[in-house]
Structure 1
Amino acid sequence: MTEQTQVRTLDAGALKALAHPLRVKIFDLLASRGPQTASSLAALVGETSGSTSYHLRALAAHDLIREVEGRGTARERWWERPKGRIDVPGPDDMTSPANRAAAQIVTSEFFRLRHETLMSYLNRPASEVPDGWGDVGITLTTHLDVTPAQALALRAELEAVIESAIERYRGQTGPDVRRVSVRAELFDLPTPPSAAGAAEPESAS
Protein backbone atom coordinates (compact mmCIF):
# COMPACT_ATOMS: atom_id res chain seq x y z
CA MET A 1 0.00 0.00 0.00
CA THR A 2 1.36 3.42 -1.00
CA GLU A 3 0.98 6.69 0.84
CA GLN A 4 -1.66 7.76 -1.71
CA THR A 5 -3.85 4.69 -1.19
CA GLN A 6 -3.61 4.24 2.57
CA VAL A 7 -6.60 5.10 4.73
CA ARG A 8 -6.06 6.57 8.19
CA THR A 9 -8.79 6.23 10.79
CA LEU A 10 -8.54 9.16 13.16
CA ASP A 11 -7.99 8.23 16.79
CA ALA A 12 -9.55 10.15 19.66
CA GLY A 13 -6.57 12.52 20.01
CA ALA A 14 -6.51 13.49 16.32
CA LEU A 15 -10.28 13.81 16.27
CA LYS A 16 -10.25 16.22 19.22
CA ALA A 17 -7.45 18.24 17.61
CA LEU A 18 -9.52 18.59 14.45
CA ALA A 19 -12.76 19.37 16.30
CA HIS A 20 -12.75 23.13 15.69
CA PRO A 21 -14.57 24.80 12.77
CA LEU A 22 -11.51 26.79 11.69
CA ARG A 23 -9.23 23.74 11.81
CA VAL A 24 -11.66 21.72 9.73
CA LYS A 25 -11.72 24.56 7.19
CA ILE A 26 -7.92 24.78 7.11
CA PHE A 27 -7.70 21.01 6.70
CA ASP A 28 -10.23 21.17 3.87
CA LEU A 29 -8.43 24.05 2.13
CA LEU A 30 -5.12 22.20 2.20
CA ALA A 31 -6.87 19.29 0.46
CA SER A 32 -8.69 21.39 -2.14
CA ARG A 33 -6.09 24.10 -2.84
CA GLY A 34 -2.83 22.39 -2.08
CA PRO A 35 0.06 23.63 0.12
CA GLN A 36 -0.45 26.94 1.91
CA THR A 37 1.26 29.21 4.41
CA ALA A 38 -0.25 30.70 7.54
CA SER A 39 -0.48 34.02 5.69
CA SER A 40 -2.21 32.63 2.59
CA LEU A 41 -4.66 30.68 4.76
CA ALA A 42 -5.35 33.81 6.82
CA ALA A 43 -6.37 35.62 3.64
CA LEU A 44 -8.65 32.74 2.64
CA VAL A 45 -10.44 32.36 5.98
CA GLY A 46 -10.46 35.99 7.13
CA GLU A 47 -8.28 35.47 10.20
CA THR A 48 -4.86 36.76 11.30
CA SER A 49 -1.77 34.79 10.38
CA GLY A 50 -1.10 34.38 14.09
CA SER A 51 -4.42 32.59 14.48
CA THR A 52 -3.92 30.29 11.48
CA SER A 53 -0.34 29.57 12.57
CA TYR A 54 -1.62 28.44 15.98
CA HIS A 55 -4.19 26.12 14.44
CA LEU A 56 -1.66 24.76 11.94
CA ARG A 57 0.66 23.77 14.78
CA ALA A 58 -2.22 22.06 16.60
CA LEU A 59 -3.04 20.03 13.48
CA ALA A 60 0.61 19.17 12.89
CA ALA A 61 1.00 17.92 16.47
CA HIS A 62 -1.33 15.02 15.55
CA ASP A 63 0.17 14.46 12.07
CA LEU A 64 -2.98 15.73 10.39
CA ILE A 65 -0.79 18.07 8.32
CA ARG A 66 2.94 18.40 7.75
CA GLU A 67 5.53 20.89 6.54
CA VAL A 68 6.40 20.79 2.85
CA GLU A 69 9.97 19.52 2.53
CA GLY A 70 12.41 21.90 0.89
CA ARG A 71 9.98 24.77 0.63
CA GLY A 72 9.67 27.94 2.66
CA THR A 73 11.87 29.66 5.22
CA ALA A 74 12.06 29.92 8.99
CA ARG A 75 9.65 32.87 8.78
CA GLU A 76 7.29 31.49 6.13
CA ARG A 77 6.55 27.80 6.48
CA TRP A 78 4.52 25.87 3.92
CA TRP A 79 2.05 23.22 5.06
CA GLU A 80 0.32 20.38 3.26
CA ARG A 81 -2.13 17.62 3.98
CA PRO A 82 -0.48 14.18 3.69
CA LYS A 83 -1.54 12.00 0.78
CA GLY A 84 -4.12 9.30 1.32
CA ARG A 85 -7.60 9.34 2.76
CA ILE A 86 -8.91 9.72 6.28
CA ASP A 87 -11.79 7.95 7.93
CA VAL A 88 -13.61 10.13 10.45
CA PRO A 89 -15.47 7.98 13.00
CA GLY A 90 -19.10 8.95 13.42
CA PRO A 91 -20.53 10.03 16.78
CA ASP A 92 -22.07 6.59 17.27
CA ASP A 93 -18.60 5.01 17.03
CA MET A 94 -17.31 6.94 20.03
CA THR A 95 -17.60 5.60 23.58
CA SER A 96 -17.18 8.77 25.64
CA PRO A 97 -19.36 11.93 25.55
CA ALA A 98 -16.30 14.10 24.79
CA ASN A 99 -15.26 11.94 21.84
CA ARG A 100 -18.83 11.83 20.53
CA ALA A 101 -19.00 15.62 20.69
CA ALA A 102 -15.69 15.92 18.82
CA ALA A 103 -16.87 13.52 16.11
CA GLN A 104 -20.10 15.46 15.76
CA ILE A 105 -18.27 18.77 15.33
CA VAL A 106 -15.91 17.37 12.69
CA THR A 107 -18.62 15.56 10.73
CA SER A 108 -21.03 18.50 10.81
CA GLU A 109 -18.37 20.98 9.73
CA PHE A 110 -17.09 18.77 6.90
CA PHE A 111 -20.58 18.46 5.44
CA ARG A 112 -21.35 22.15 6.00
CA LEU A 113 -18.26 23.07 3.98
CA ARG A 114 -19.17 20.47 1.36
CA HIS A 115 -22.61 22.02 0.94
CA GLU A 116 -21.11 25.52 0.89
CA THR A 117 -18.77 24.51 -1.93
CA LEU A 118 -21.62 23.01 -3.94
CA MET A 119 -23.81 26.11 -3.54
CA SER A 120 -20.92 28.37 -4.57
CA TYR A 121 -20.58 26.31 -7.75
CA LEU A 122 -24.33 26.35 -8.46
CA ASN A 123 -24.58 30.13 -7.89
CA ARG A 124 -21.40 31.07 -9.77
CA PRO A 125 -22.00 33.76 -12.42
CA ALA A 126 -21.41 32.67 -16.02
CA SER A 127 -18.73 35.37 -16.30
CA GLU A 128 -16.61 33.51 -13.73
CA VAL A 129 -16.73 30.10 -15.43
CA PRO A 130 -13.33 29.27 -16.99
CA ASP A 131 -13.22 28.61 -20.72
CA GLY A 132 -14.17 25.04 -21.58
CA TRP A 133 -15.71 24.30 -18.17
CA GLY A 134 -19.27 25.50 -18.74
CA ASP A 135 -20.80 22.07 -19.46
CA VAL A 136 -18.52 19.90 -17.34
CA GLY A 137 -20.23 19.80 -13.96
CA ILE A 138 -23.18 17.59 -13.10
CA THR A 139 -25.40 17.03 -10.08
CA LEU A 140 -27.65 13.98 -9.99
CA THR A 141 -30.22 12.77 -7.50
CA THR A 142 -32.33 9.66 -7.85
CA HIS A 143 -34.12 7.19 -5.61
CA LEU A 144 -33.96 3.40 -5.89
CA ASP A 145 -35.72 0.52 -4.20
CA VAL A 146 -33.02 -2.04 -3.37
CA THR A 147 -32.06 -4.71 -0.86
CA PRO A 148 -29.03 -4.34 1.46
CA ALA A 149 -27.04 -6.71 -0.78
CA GLN A 150 -27.89 -4.68 -3.88
CA ALA A 151 -26.96 -1.44 -2.11
CA LEU A 152 -23.57 -2.90 -1.17
CA ALA A 153 -22.99 -3.99 -4.77
CA LEU A 154 -23.85 -0.51 -6.03
CA ARG A 155 -21.53 1.01 -3.44
CA ALA A 156 -18.69 -1.20 -4.70
CA GLU A 157 -19.36 -0.09 -8.30
CA LEU A 158 -19.27 3.59 -7.34
CA GLU A 159 -16.06 3.11 -5.36
CA ALA A 160 -14.46 1.30 -8.31
CA VAL A 161 -15.27 4.17 -10.70
CA ILE A 162 -13.77 6.74 -8.34
CA GLU A 163 -10.69 4.64 -7.56
CA SER A 164 -10.08 4.20 -11.30
CA ALA A 165 -10.25 7.98 -11.83
CA ILE A 166 -7.86 8.56 -8.93
CA GLU A 167 -5.32 6.18 -10.46
CA ARG A 168 -5.63 7.75 -13.95
CA TYR A 169 -5.39 11.40 -12.96
CA ARG A 170 -3.39 11.51 -9.71
CA GLY A 171 -0.70 14.20 -9.81
CA GLN A 172 -1.65 15.45 -13.25
CA THR A 173 -0.53 18.96 -14.17
CA GLY A 174 -0.93 21.19 -17.19
CA PRO A 175 -2.40 24.47 -18.42
CA ASP A 176 -5.93 23.04 -18.76
CA VAL A 177 -5.90 21.06 -15.49
CA ARG A 178 -8.18 22.21 -12.67
CA ARG A 179 -9.00 20.45 -9.41
CA VAL A 180 -12.55 19.10 -9.34
CA SER A 181 -14.70 17.68 -6.56
CA VAL A 182 -16.04 14.16 -7.13
CA ARG A 183 -18.84 13.12 -4.76
CA ALA A 184 -20.85 9.97 -4.28
CA GLU A 185 -23.55 9.39 -1.68
CA LEU A 186 -25.55 6.27 -0.99
CA PHE A 187 -27.72 5.95 2.09
CA ASP A 188 -31.06 4.54 3.14
CA LEU A 189 -33.91 6.95 3.77
CA PRO A 190 -36.01 7.01 6.95
CA THR A 191 -38.96 4.66 6.99
CA PRO A 192 -42.18 6.62 6.38
CA PRO A 193 -44.39 6.72 9.47
CA SER A 194 -47.20 5.05 7.54
CA ALA A 195 -44.96 2.06 6.80
CA ALA A 196 -43.48 1.67 10.28
CA GLY A 197 -45.54 -0.65 12.41
CA ALA A 198 -48.63 -0.32 10.26
CA ALA A 199 -51.45 -2.31 11.78
CA GLU A 200 -53.09 -5.08 9.82
CA PRO A 201 -56.75 -4.30 9.07
CA GLU A 202 -59.15 -6.00 11.46
CA SER A 203 -61.51 -8.53 9.96
CA ALA A 204 -65.21 -7.93 10.46
CA SER A 205 -66.99 -10.40 12.69
Structure 2
Amino acid sequence: MTEHRPEDPSADRAPRPADAPRRRLDAGSLRGLAHPLRMRLLDELRLNGPATSARLSERTGESTGTVSWHLRHLAAHGFIEEESGRGTKRERWWRAARGALVLAATDFDQDPSAQAAVSVYLAENLRRQYQRVADSLAADWEGEWHGAGSVTDWNDLRLTPAQLQSLIDELAAVVARHTPAPDVAPDPAARPVVVQIQALPRKEADRP
Protein backbone atom coordinates (compact mmCIF):
# COMPACT_ATOMS: atom_id res chain seq x y z
CA MET A 1 0.00 0.00 0.00
CA THR A 2 1.21 3.51 -0.84
CA GLU A 3 -0.49 6.54 0.60
CA HIS A 4 0.03 10.14 -0.41
CA ARG A 5 -1.44 12.90 1.69
CA PRO A 6 -0.88 16.54 0.75
CA GLU A 7 -1.43 17.58 4.37
CA ASP A 8 0.33 16.51 7.53
CA PRO A 9 -0.96 13.06 8.57
CA SER A 10 0.60 13.12 12.05
CA ALA A 11 -2.86 12.55 13.55
CA ASP A 12 -3.35 9.13 11.97
CA ARG A 13 -7.06 8.59 12.41
CA ALA A 14 -7.77 5.96 9.77
CA PRO A 15 -8.50 2.56 11.37
CA ARG A 16 -6.24 -0.27 10.23
CA PRO A 17 -5.07 -3.66 11.51
CA ALA A 18 -3.19 -3.19 14.77
CA ASP A 19 -0.08 -4.94 13.48
CA ALA A 20 0.09 -3.12 10.14
CA PRO A 21 3.33 -1.09 10.11
CA ARG A 22 3.53 2.27 8.37
CA ARG A 23 6.60 4.05 7.12
CA ARG A 24 6.60 7.79 6.63
CA LEU A 25 9.08 8.72 3.91
CA ASP A 26 11.80 11.21 4.81
CA ALA A 27 14.08 13.02 2.37
CA GLY A 28 16.72 10.28 2.36
CA SER A 29 14.38 7.33 1.85
CA LEU A 30 12.36 9.29 -0.72
CA ARG A 31 15.46 9.90 -2.82
CA GLY A 32 16.28 6.19 -2.52
CA LEU A 33 12.87 5.22 -3.91
CA ALA A 34 12.00 8.02 -6.36
CA HIS A 35 13.16 6.35 -9.56
CA PRO A 36 10.78 4.80 -12.12
CA LEU A 37 12.54 1.44 -12.25
CA ARG A 38 12.97 1.17 -8.48
CA MET A 39 9.31 1.92 -7.96
CA ARG A 40 8.37 -0.67 -10.57
CA LEU A 41 10.63 -3.29 -8.95
CA LEU A 42 9.07 -2.64 -5.56
CA ASP A 43 5.64 -2.86 -7.17
CA GLU A 44 6.52 -6.21 -8.75
CA LEU A 45 7.67 -7.65 -5.41
CA ARG A 46 4.61 -6.34 -3.57
CA LEU A 47 2.08 -7.55 -6.11
CA ASN A 48 3.68 -10.81 -7.28
CA GLY A 49 5.76 -11.94 -4.33
CA PRO A 50 9.49 -12.70 -3.91
CA ALA A 51 11.69 -12.91 -6.99
CA THR A 52 15.30 -12.95 -8.13
CA SER A 53 16.99 -10.25 -10.18
CA ALA A 54 16.84 -12.60 -13.18
CA ARG A 55 13.06 -12.98 -12.90
CA LEU A 56 12.60 -9.26 -12.41
CA SER A 57 14.80 -8.65 -15.42
CA GLU A 58 12.47 -10.78 -17.55
CA ARG A 59 9.40 -8.91 -16.29
CA THR A 60 10.82 -5.41 -16.74
CA GLY A 61 12.95 -5.88 -19.85
CA GLU A 62 15.99 -4.41 -18.06
CA SER A 63 19.37 -6.13 -17.83
CA THR A 64 20.08 -8.28 -14.78
CA GLY A 65 22.97 -6.00 -13.83
CA THR A 66 20.78 -2.90 -13.89
CA VAL A 67 18.06 -4.62 -11.89
CA SER A 68 20.54 -5.89 -9.30
CA TRP A 69 21.99 -2.39 -8.88
CA HIS A 70 18.58 -0.88 -8.20
CA LEU A 71 17.61 -3.76 -5.90
CA ARG A 72 20.66 -3.03 -3.77
CA HIS A 73 19.54 0.60 -3.46
CA LEU A 74 16.05 -0.49 -2.39
CA ALA A 75 17.54 -2.87 0.17
CA ALA A 76 19.90 -0.19 1.52
CA HIS A 77 16.89 2.01 2.27
CA GLY A 78 14.87 -0.82 3.81
CA PHE A 79 12.20 -1.11 1.12
CA ILE A 80 13.06 -4.73 0.31
CA GLU A 81 14.84 -7.53 2.13
CA GLU A 82 16.43 -10.84 1.26
CA GLU A 83 14.19 -13.89 1.47
CA SER A 84 15.89 -15.99 4.13
CA GLY A 85 16.45 -19.69 3.50
CA ARG A 86 15.97 -19.35 -0.23
CA GLY A 87 18.35 -19.03 -3.13
CA THR A 88 22.13 -19.28 -3.28
CA LYS A 89 25.10 -16.96 -3.10
CA ARG A 90 24.77 -16.39 -6.84
CA GLU A 91 20.97 -16.12 -6.89
CA ARG A 92 19.39 -14.03 -4.18
CA TRP A 93 15.64 -13.86 -3.64
CA TRP A 94 14.13 -10.52 -2.63
CA ARG A 95 10.82 -9.64 -1.04
CA ALA A 96 9.12 -6.34 -0.25
CA ALA A 97 9.27 -5.17 3.35
CA ARG A 98 5.90 -5.22 5.08
CA GLY A 99 3.93 -2.06 5.67
CA ALA A 100 2.41 0.96 4.00
CA LEU A 101 4.45 3.86 2.65
CA VAL A 102 3.17 7.31 3.56
CA LEU A 103 4.29 10.47 1.78
CA ALA A 104 3.28 13.80 3.33
CA ALA A 105 4.18 16.49 0.81
CA THR A 106 4.21 19.14 3.54
CA ASP A 107 7.25 17.43 5.08
CA PHE A 108 9.33 18.80 2.20
CA ASP A 109 8.00 22.36 1.97
CA GLN A 110 11.21 23.68 3.53
CA ASP A 111 13.51 21.36 1.58
CA PRO A 112 13.77 22.56 -2.04
CA SER A 113 16.41 19.91 -2.77
CA ALA A 114 13.80 17.19 -2.21
CA GLN A 115 11.17 18.67 -4.51
CA ALA A 116 12.49 16.89 -7.60
CA ALA A 117 12.25 13.54 -5.79
CA VAL A 118 8.71 14.37 -4.64
CA SER A 119 7.70 15.16 -8.24
CA VAL A 120 9.22 11.94 -9.60
CA TYR A 121 7.60 9.85 -6.86
CA LEU A 122 4.13 11.33 -7.32
CA ALA A 123 4.24 11.18 -11.13
CA GLU A 124 5.42 7.57 -11.18
CA ASN A 125 2.97 6.53 -8.47
CA LEU A 126 0.11 8.03 -10.48
CA ARG A 127 1.35 6.32 -13.65
CA ARG A 128 1.54 2.96 -11.86
CA GLN A 129 -2.00 3.38 -10.53
CA TYR A 130 -3.29 4.15 -14.02
CA GLN A 131 -1.42 1.14 -15.44
CA ARG A 132 -3.02 -1.23 -12.93
CA VAL A 133 -6.47 -0.04 -14.02
CA ALA A 134 -5.57 -0.30 -17.71
CA ASP A 135 -4.14 -3.81 -17.28
CA SER A 136 -7.29 -5.01 -15.50
CA LEU A 137 -9.62 -3.55 -18.11
CA ALA A 138 -7.58 -5.08 -20.93
CA ALA A 139 -7.34 -8.54 -19.35
CA ASP A 140 -9.44 -11.46 -20.61
CA TRP A 141 -11.56 -12.39 -17.57
CA GLU A 142 -13.79 -15.44 -17.45
CA GLY A 143 -16.84 -16.49 -15.47
CA GLU A 144 -17.96 -14.30 -12.59
CA TRP A 145 -14.82 -12.17 -12.92
CA HIS A 146 -15.94 -10.92 -16.33
CA GLY A 147 -17.25 -7.42 -15.72
CA ALA A 148 -16.38 -7.44 -12.02
CA GLY A 149 -14.92 -4.29 -10.51
CA SER A 150 -15.70 -0.64 -10.96
CA VAL A 151 -14.11 2.62 -12.08
CA THR A 152 -16.25 5.38 -10.62
CA ASP A 153 -15.92 9.04 -9.76
CA TRP A 154 -18.18 11.49 -7.97
CA ASN A 155 -17.70 15.18 -8.78
CA ASP A 156 -20.65 16.86 -7.07
CA LEU A 157 -19.22 16.98 -3.53
CA ARG A 158 -18.42 20.27 -1.79
CA LEU A 159 -16.49 19.67 1.43
CA THR A 160 -14.30 21.48 3.91
CA PRO A 161 -10.75 20.18 4.48
CA ALA A 162 -11.95 18.49 7.69
CA GLN A 163 -14.88 16.86 5.90
CA LEU A 164 -12.59 15.64 3.11
CA GLN A 165 -10.25 14.06 5.66
CA SER A 166 -13.22 12.42 7.38
CA LEU A 167 -14.33 10.93 4.06
CA ILE A 168 -10.82 9.59 3.40
CA ASP A 169 -10.67 8.03 6.88
CA GLU A 170 -14.07 6.35 6.44
CA LEU A 171 -13.08 4.92 3.05
CA ALA A 172 -9.83 3.60 4.53
CA ALA A 173 -11.78 1.98 7.36
CA VAL A 174 -14.02 0.16 4.87
CA VAL A 175 -10.99 -1.20 3.01
CA ALA A 176 -9.40 -2.24 6.32
CA ARG A 177 -12.50 -4.26 7.24
CA HIS A 178 -12.20 -6.22 3.99
CA THR A 179 -8.44 -6.77 4.30
CA PRO A 180 -7.72 -10.27 5.63
CA ALA A 181 -5.11 -10.82 8.30
CA PRO A 182 -1.78 -12.08 6.88
CA ASP A 183 -2.12 -15.41 8.73
CA VAL A 184 -5.59 -16.18 7.33
CA ALA A 185 -5.69 -18.53 4.35
CA PRO A 186 -7.51 -16.92 1.39
CA ASP A 187 -10.64 -18.39 -0.13
CA PRO A 188 -9.63 -20.63 -3.08
CA ALA A 189 -11.99 -18.63 -5.30
CA ALA A 190 -10.40 -15.31 -4.35
CA ARG A 191 -8.13 -13.31 -6.64
CA PRO A 192 -5.84 -10.39 -5.83
CA VAL A 193 -7.76 -7.11 -5.86
CA VAL A 194 -6.35 -3.58 -6.03
CA VAL A 195 -8.39 -0.75 -4.49
CA GLN A 196 -7.26 2.75 -5.41
CA ILE A 197 -8.80 5.81 -3.79
CA GLN A 198 -8.20 9.35 -5.00
CA ALA A 199 -9.98 12.01 -2.94
CA LEU A 200 -8.54 15.42 -3.80
CA PRO A 201 -9.72 19.05 -3.97
CA ARG A 202 -10.49 20.34 -7.47
CA LYS A 203 -9.59 23.83 -8.67
CA GLU A 204 -12.52 25.90 -9.94
CA ALA A 205 -12.15 28.15 -12.94
CA ASP A 206 -13.47 31.24 -11.15
CA ARG A 207 -11.64 30.76 -7.84
CA PRO A 208 -7.94 30.90 -6.90
For the aligned pair, the TM-score class normalised by the smaller chain equals 0.7 to 0.9
| 2:30 counterpart residue number | 15
| Partner of residue 154 from structure 2, selected from 116, 121, 142 | 142
Deviation at 1:177, TM superposition (A): 3.0
| Partner of residue 132 from structure 1, selected from 125, 129, 144 | 144
TM-score (norm 1): 0.83
Deviation at 1:15, TM superposition (A): 0.9
Rounded Cα–Cα distance in structure 2 between residues aligned with 1:151 and 1:131: 37
> Are positions 1:37 and 2:49 aligned together?
no
| 1:203 counterpart residue number | none
Contact kept in structure 1, 2:80 and 2:97, CA below 8 Å: yes
Deviation at 1:27, TM superposition (A): 1.1
Deviation at 1:32, TM superposition (A): 1.3
| 1:117 counterpart residue number | 132
After TM superposition, the structure 1 = structure 2 runs for residues 160-199 of structure 1, keeping only pairs within 5 Å, are 160-167=173-180, 172-173=185-186, 175-193=188-206, 196=207
1:21-68 CA distances to partner (integer Å, 9 max, x unpaired)?
Answer: 111111111111111110111011101111111110111011111011
Letter in 2 for 1:139: V
SS of aligned partner of 1:192: coil
Contact kept in structure 2, 1:3 and 1:83, CA below 8 Å: no
SS of aligned partner of 1:54: helix
Deviation at 1:116, TM superposition (A): 1.5
Deviation at 1:74, TM superposition (A): 1.2
Contact kept in structure 2, 1:4 and 1:83, CA below 8 Å: no
In structure 1, runs of 5+ residues without a counterpart are 198-205
In structure 2, runs of 5+ residues without a counterpart are 1-15
Deviation at 1:14, TM superposition (A): 1.2
Rounded Cα–Cα distance in structure 1 between residues aligned with 2:19 and 2:69: 27
Higher radius of gyration, 1 or 2: 1
Deviation at 1:165, TM superposition (A): 1.4
Rounded Cα–Cα distance in structure 2 between residues aligned with 1:159 and 1:3: 14
1:4-27 CA distances to partner (integer Å, 9 max, x unpaired)?
Answer: 511101122111111211111111
Deviation at 1:153, TM superposition (A): 2.5
Contact kept in structure 1, 2:25 and 2:102, CA below 8 Å: yes
Contact kept in structure 1, 2:108 and 2:114, CA below 8 Å: no
Letter in 2 for 1:137: G
> Are positions 1:51 and 2:51 aligned together?
no
Task: Give me the identity figure in percent.
Answer: 33
How many residues are matched? 192
Contact kept in structure 2, 1:90 and 1:104, CA below 8 Å: no
Contact kept in structure 2, 1:88 and 1:107, CA below 8 Å: no
Contact kept in structure 2, 1:89 and 1:103, CA below 8 Å: no
Deviation at 1:103, TM superposition (A): 1.4
SS of aligned partner of 1:103: helix
